[in-house]
Structure 1
Amino acid sequence: MAFTPEPYDPSAVADWLVCKACGTQFPTPDRRVVKTCHICDDPRQYVPPSGQEFTTLAELQKTHRNEFTPYGPDPRLTCIATAPRFAIGERAFLIRTPKGNVLWDCIALLDEETVARINGLGGLRAMVISHPHYYTTHVQWARAFRCPVYIAAEDNSWTTMDSAHQVLLTATETDVEGSGALAIKLGGHFRGSLVLLFDGRLFIADTLVTTPAGLGQWHVDATGAAREKPAGLNTFSFLWSIPNAIPLSVDELARMWAILKAYGFKATHGAFAGMDIEDGRVKQRVLDSMQIQTRYMGHGQHVLVSETL
């Protein structure tokens, strides 16, 4: 992608306001100008019981740091998360592709240590962000690494600033900078919600929400004896609002499946630490989960229920 990189000046944005609930950065230090957060006021999110509060990157850098954790089953993947947990608490993934590193999703904290660590791993060829809840400080990240950041065109209105680094995706599928990592627009949670497919690994954020039942281990019982996983347990749920537990419509599930069924994948990686599933049957588990949700929403005769792989 050809564009003129914008200057990265961390001192100029150090006092810009950052929402404590969702991590969204606003391009002003003036708390009289920004009194509320449009992300948190949306029905998909919430304002905590303590009320609307803001911090800054300068303040955050004093109390938090980013931790880099290699993903054991695949050395090409590194998880990046802020400790102690901040805002929504999502993780980003650094994905090493043959064409350079791709960052999947974004976290609010950006500091000198993080920039140096990522540059030591080869920098970033591109960033891809799943949906507006994780836009956070993405413009600063893109400026720091002089790279494009891919977001869905449908969700551009949720950004707090425009940038030459932003690439607005209009197609259902986009090969990210020729890396072989495919940004796939599924929608659902937001109109433009994305997943990312790389070498059989599907990075799902919470476009597909990994459930406790999906992570549970039923292959042995308490005595160590082998057993089958009980029938009827889901692996994923499909929600318009995750924290407020508002489900997607059945027709929206069917539309999402019509896109996703064209792709093969053997693993999924959710928004938070531990939400990783390594299973060659995980695509079937996505369909099973959609069908379970469809039936429990009272649509047992919907065409989605008869779908097979």
Structure 2
Amino acid sequence: MVSHNEHSYDPRRTGSWLICKTCGTQFPTHDKNKVTTCLICDDPRQYVPPSGQSFTSLDELRSTGEHENIFTPIPGDPKGRFVGINTQPKVAIGQRAILVQTAEGNVLWDCITLLDNETIKKIKGLGGLKAIVVSHPHYYSTHLEWARAFDCPVYLAAEDEEWLTQHDARQVFITDVETEVFGTKVLKLGGHFPGSLVMLYEGRLLIADTFLATPSGLGDWSTDAVGAARERPRGMSSFSFMWSYPNMIPLAPDALEQMWAILKNYEFGSTHGAFPGIDIVKTPEEMKRRVLESMQIQIRHSGHEEHAMLK
């Protein structure tokens, strides 16, 4: 871990800094002899691909002209206050950031690696950023580049500080279960990482992959193949709760119980995950029922039939 004094945005200074090709995390050096592995990908939640560890840089990503950030309205938001930002073709993990436009200013939920002049121009045209909130270390990416470019703080869970590759005065460490950030509520659920976060704003829950929508959660059972109405089959999960998603290691039942103890106190009518296309929009009653049922399904099928969550 390297500490740096606060700097203003200067792509000439940071453009050659190394970025892990697998997870998109930026390291504050261009010297490949100083950074030979990625601490994020060496953590058992992540992985190094069969091709081995490799690095790129923002200079390289920008210079090829192959990648651009696409701005897409989030489903279920008729007022247009939520905009997904996703790099195409995919860079690193491929997650999206979500621009949340509140009455107190714009907040960026999560972060992506690519930051270029066009992205800065578009976001400033929408009012800039008051803050950035990053759900967990897999999406730390180039968050300090973004914070410097928009001269704003970036909120991170205090429990996950050990996975940072840089320190800066703009980083704000969240210690409470609930934190207000410019009109949004940031909730610390833990589980996937000790400090894994979700964000709630006007009934929409941004979940990153603190928990993740499943194919059966996204499926449409409203009609059958000939158009007749039908009900969704019982016992279908809508979400998975994993310690490691790429390595398919589930969270233990007690971790789910701790997450539910917090989340049950809040109302939300939709969930919006880390990747495009995994949005679920229902009624608040249906959404909370689906979260609880999904937790119970995971607990039951992992052999814990007597766990308190099933009662």
TM-score bracket for the superposition, by shorter chain length: over 0.9
Partner of 1:228: 231
Partner of 1:140: 145
Out of 153, 156, 159, the position equivalent to 2:158 is: 153
Partner of 1:104: 109
For 2:6 and 2:244, the matched residues in 1 are separated by: 35
Partner of 1:49: 50
Instruction: Letter of the 1:225 partner, please give it.
Output: A
Report the 3-state secondary structure (helix = DSSP H, G, I; strand = E; otherwise coil) of the residue aligned with 1:8: coil
> Are 1:253 and 2:262 matched, yes or no?
no
* Bigger shift: residues 165-174 or 67-76: 67-76
- 1:1-309 paired onto structure 2 within 5 Å: 6-61=7-62, 62=64, 63-74=66-77, 75-176=80-181, 179-280=182-283, 281-306=286-311
Task: Quote how far apart the aligned CAs of 1:11 are.
Answer: 0.9
Matched-pair contact (CA < 8 Å) for 2:129–2:152: yes
Q: Deviations over 1:64-84 (max 9, x none)?
A: 111111224311111100010
Between the aligned residues of both structures, percent identity stands at: 60
Instruction: Letter of the 1:301 partner, please give it.
Output: E
Task: Quote how far apart the aligned CAs of 1:129 are.
Answer: 0.4
Q: What TM-score results when the alignment is normalised by the length of structure 2?
A: 0.95
For 1:291 and 1:73, the matched residues in 2 are separated by: 27
For 1:17 and 1:77, the matched residues in 2 are separated by: 31
Report the 3-state secondary structure (helix = DSSP H, G, I; strand = E; otherwise coil) of the residue aligned with 1:141: helix
CA RMSD in angstroms, aligned pairs only: 1.0
For 1:73 and 1:251, the matched residues in 2 are separated by: 32
Task: Quote how far apart the aligned CAs of 1:114 are.
Answer: 0.6
Instruction: Letter of the 2:30 partner, please give it.
Output: P
Task: Quote how far apart the aligned CAs of 1:14 are.
Answer: 0.5
For 1:39 and 1:196, the matched residues in 2 are separated by: 23
Report the 3-state secondary structure (helix = DSSP H, G, I; strand = E; otherwise coil) of the residue aligned with 2:289: helix
Instruction: Letter of the 1:282 partner, please give it.
Output: M
Instruction: Letter of the 1:285 partner, please give it.
Output: R
Instruction: Letter of the 1:234 partner, please give it.
Output: S
Instruction: Letter of the 1:104 partner, please give it.
Output: W
Report the 3-state secondary structure (helix = DSSP H, G, I; strand = E; otherwise coil) of the residue aligned with 2:259: helix
For 1:143 and 1:285, the matched residues in 2 are separated by: 39
Q: Return 5+ residue gaps in structure 2 as ranges.
A: none
For 1:297 and 1:5, the matched residues in 2 are separated by: 47
Matched-pair contact (CA < 8 Å) for 1:6–1:146: no
Q: What TM-score results when the alignment is normalised by the length of structure 1?
A: 0.96
Q: Deviations over 1:192-241 (max 9, x none)?
A: 00000001100000001110010000111110111111111100010000
Instruction: Letter of the 1:198 partner, please give it.
Output: Y
Stretches (4+) displaced over 6 A: none
Instruction: Letter of the 1:160 partner, please give it.
Output: T
Q: Deviations over 1:1-59 (max 9, x none)?
A: xxx97311011001000000000000000011111101111110000111111000011
For 1:97 and 1:275, the matched residues in 2 are separated by: 22
Quickly say closer, same or farther: Cα 1:211–1:72, change in 2 above 3 A.
closer
Report the 3-state secondary structure (helix = DSSP H, G, I; strand = E; otherwise coil) of the residue aligned with 2:167: coil
Task: Quote how far apart the aligned CAs of 1:60 are.
Answer: 0.7
For 1:269 and 1:100, the matched residues in 2 are separated by: 20
For 2:37 and 2:239, the matched residues in 1 are separated by: 32
Task: Quote how far apart the aligned CAs of 1:184 are.
Answer: 0.4
Matched-pair contact (CA < 8 Å) for 2:6–2:168: no
Matched-pair contact (CA < 8 Å) for 2:221–2:232: yes
Report the 3-state secondary structure (helix = DSSP H, G, I; strand = E; otherwise coil) of the residue aligned with 1:204: strand
Q: Deviations over 1:104-123 (max 9, x none)?
A: 00000001111111000000
For 2:251 and 2:178, the matched residues in 1 are separated by: 22
Instruction: Letter of the 1:167 partner, please give it.
Output: V
